[in-house]
Structure 1
Amino acid sequence: MIIPYTDISPDTLTNLIEYYVLREGTDYGEQEMTMADKVLMVQHQLQSGEVVIVYSELHETVNLMPRQQFWQQTAGQPDYN
C-alpha cells in the first residue's frame, strides 16, 4: 500500500528518509554529498512521484522505493488505497 508522504509528519518523514539513505549506501557519483543533500534529493523524488512510501501489511514495514519498482512488484496494478 502506498502511503502519501503528505500524510506523515515532517519529523517522521525526515527520520524515514535518513534511515533509507543510510541503509541504501547509494553511490552519488564523484562528488560526495552531505546527509542533508541526500535527504533533500529524496524529498524531491517523493514530491515528484518518482519515489513512493510503501507499507507492507504482511511484514509490518515501511519502505521507500521507486514507483516503477513498486508497480512491477504488484504486477503493474495501481494501488487505489
Structure 2
Amino acid sequence: MEGLGWFAAIIVGGLAGWIAEKIMGGDHGLLTNIVLGIVGAIVANFLLVLIVGSTLGGWIGQLIVGVIGACILIFAWRAIKGRT
C-alpha cells in the first residue's frame, strides 16, 4: 500500500477486507480479511494506475481502494470456485 507503513497497511487492509466481506456477504476470518484488503489494494492500485494514471492517497483513499480491490478478489474467487 503506497504511502502507508506496514502496521498501518495491516490495519487498513483488515478493515478493507472486513468491509468487503460485509458487502459481498462472505464469512472469512481476520487473517483472510487482512490479506484480501492488502492484496486487493495492490490490485486496485495497479488497475487505477493503468486506467487513470494515478491512485488515491492517504488512509481513506487506500481504504476505498482496498475495499474495491477486495470485492474484486472475492468476486473472482467465487467465479473460479463456481466453475469447478
User: What interval of TM-score do these two structures reach, taking the shorter chain for normalisation?
Assistant: 0.3 to 0.5
Relative to its length, the structure with more helix (as a share) is 2
TM-score of the two chains, using structure 1 as the length reference: 0.46
Q: Larger C-alpha radius of gyration, 1 or 2? A: 1
Relative to its length, the structure with more strand (as a share) is 1
TM-score of the two chains, using structure 2 as the length reference: 0.45
